[in-house]
Every structure is written in structure tokens, then in C-alpha cells.
């Protein structure tokens, strides 16, 4: 907080684990910028579809990533189930990841520092982050949360469809050759299955504080 130098906090985890909410709140608490890196992959997936190509079309996906303008898409478009699925497919293409890497690193190194959430922030994008959280929750709990979110936006998807989508993405994200979803060796694990938003945030804050203290970044 006050008195701390440039801070970078990495928050990784699978879909609907709560990492986005926690990362956004941590950024507000520490006065840092916030980047939802999943939205970069989601926007890339949407841009590929807009170009009339399939998400596994490598040339189209790389071109979309290199010329990306995420502001072209609304929050509803970015958060749609189709965008999540397309994101997970383009994210498995190594050249797409390389095209998005520089922007993410540049964001992290820009003052006042940042909280980034994604799948590979602690392992690849910011391996020297000052604190690293890996947020998990049981797939069924994550599916319930995502199902509620979709329902709130009027997306008519069943709970079973959402759970299947989450399992499919978990498997693809964890199994891909490049930057798979996995905790960095020095990440602290936080399971939010049994925690409401407030309790999860307080726990995340305690964990980040102890991580910062251990790495010599205490106030």
C-alpha cells in the first residue's frame, strides 16, 4: 500500500474460480492498475470469428492477436460463452500467446504497477511478480457461479452445459503444450469453494500480505 514501490501481483486460476473479482479488488486496495488477460484472448477469439475464420486457424488467429483492439467489443460480447470457448482455442496457439505477451508485460511494468489475472501470469508473463495467488474452486461450484452470471445477462444456458464447458476448458488449458494452466512453484493456493466474496477477498489479502512480507515488500 502506501510507501510500497511498484508492485506486481499475479492472480491465476481456472474459469470462474473467483480470480477476476479478487484481482480487481486487490488492484483497488493497493491502488494498482488491473488487467483481465482473459479478455485479450476472448477478443482475439471474437476477432477471428468476425474475420470468418475458425478459432483453430493459426494464421487468422495470429493476425487477430497482432492487430488486436479489445475496446472493439462490449463486455457482454467478451463474457459470452462462445467467446470463452474461442479464447481457449486461440490461446493454445503458441504464436498467439507470443503476440499478446509484450502488451501484458508492458502493462505490468507501467507505474504504478498492476494486478494481472489469467492462467500463466505467475509462470510466464510475470515470473518475478511480488506476490502470486493461484485461485481454485470445485468445478461444480465454478459452474454454479458462471451459470448465475450468464443467466443475469440473459444467456439461456443450462447448468449442465456450463459445467461441461468449464471441464472442457480446464482440460484444454491445463493440457496445452505452451503456458499451461498450473500454479507457479512459488504461488500461494487459495480455494474459494466454501468462501463467499467477502471472505475470499479477506483471505486473499492476508495471503498477499504474507507473500509480500516474505519477499521483502512489506510497507
Cell 459470452 belongs to 80
Asked if 107 contacts 33 with a C-beta cutoff of 8 angstroms, the reply is yes
Residue 138 CA: distances (Å) to CA of 67, 69, 102, 121, 188: 36, 33, 32, 21, 17
Cis, bond preceding 148 (omega within 30 deg of 0): no
38 binds ligand C5P per the rule CB under 6 A = yes
173 binds ligand C5P per the rule CB under 6 A = yes
Q: Decide whether 165 or 211 has the Cβ nearer to ligand C5P.
A: 165
Q: Decide whether 173 or 211 has the Cβ nearer to ligand C5P.
A: 173
Q: Applying CB under 6 A, what is the total number of residues that bind ligand C5P?
A: 14
- Taking the complex as a whole, the smallest distance from the CB of residue 202 to ligand C5P amounts, in Å, to 23
Among positions 52-111, residues that touch ligand C5P (CB under 6 A) are 84, 87-88, 91
> Strand order of the sheet with strand 113-118?
33-36, 113-118, 7-12, 131-136, 188-191
Spatial CA neighbour of 167 closest among 40, 56, 43, 16:
16
DSSP-derived 3-state class of residue 55: coil
**Distance between CA 44 and CA 82 in Å, rounded?**
12
Q: Decide whether 100 or 188 has the Cβ nearer to ligand C5P.
A: 100
- Taking the complex as a whole, the smallest distance from the CB of residue 200 to ligand C5P amounts, in Å, to 16
Stretch binding ligand C5P (CB under 6 A), from 3-11, 22-30, 36-44, 65-73: 36-44
Element (H, E) at 50: helix 37-50
- Taking the complex as a whole, the smallest distance from the CB of residue 214 to ligand C5P amounts, in Å, to 24
Contact letters (x/-) for ligand C5P, 110-149, by CB under 6 A? --------xxx-----------------------------
Residues that bind ligand C5P (CB under 6 A): 15, 37-38, 41-42, 84, 87-88, 91, 118-120, 169, 173
Amino acid at each position: 500500500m502506501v510507501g510500497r514501490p511498484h508492485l506486481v501481483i499475479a492472480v491465476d486460476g481456472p474459469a470462474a474460480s473467483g480470480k477476476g473479482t479478487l484481482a480487481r479488488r486487490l488492484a483497488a486496495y493497493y491502488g494498482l492498475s488491473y488487467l483481465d488477460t482473459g479478455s485479450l484472448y476472448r477478443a482475439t477469439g471474437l476477432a477471428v470469428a468476425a474475420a470468418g475464420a475458425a478459432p483453430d486457424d493459426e494464421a487468422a488467429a495470429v493476425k487477430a492477436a497482432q492487430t488486436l483492439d479489445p475496446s472493439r467489443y462490449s463486455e457482454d460480447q467478451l463474457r459470452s460463452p462462445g467467446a470463452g470457448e474461442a479464447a481457449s482455442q486461440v490461446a493454445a496457439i503458441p504464436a498467439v500467446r507470443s503476440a499478446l505477451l509484450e502488451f501484458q508485460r508492458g502493462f505490468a511494468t507501467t507505474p504504478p504497477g498492476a494486478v494481472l489475472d489469467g492462467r500463466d501470469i505467475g509462470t510466464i508473463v510475470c515470473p518475478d511478480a511480488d506476490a502470486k495467488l493461484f485461485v481454485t474452486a470445485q468445478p461444480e461450484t465454478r459452474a454454479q457461479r458462471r451459470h448465475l452470471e450468464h443467466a443475469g445477462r440473459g444467456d439461456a444456458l443450462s447448468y449442465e452445459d456450463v459445467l461441461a464447458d468449464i471441464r472442457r476448458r480446464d482440460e484444454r488449458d491445463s493440457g496445452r503444450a505452451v503456458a499451461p494452466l498450473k500454479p507457479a512453484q512459488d504461488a500461494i493456493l487459495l480455494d474459494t469453494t466454501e468462501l463467499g466474496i467477502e471472505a475470499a477477498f479477506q483471505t486473499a489479502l492476508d495471503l498477499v500480505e504474507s507473500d509480500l512480507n516474505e519477499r521483502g515488500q512489506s510497507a
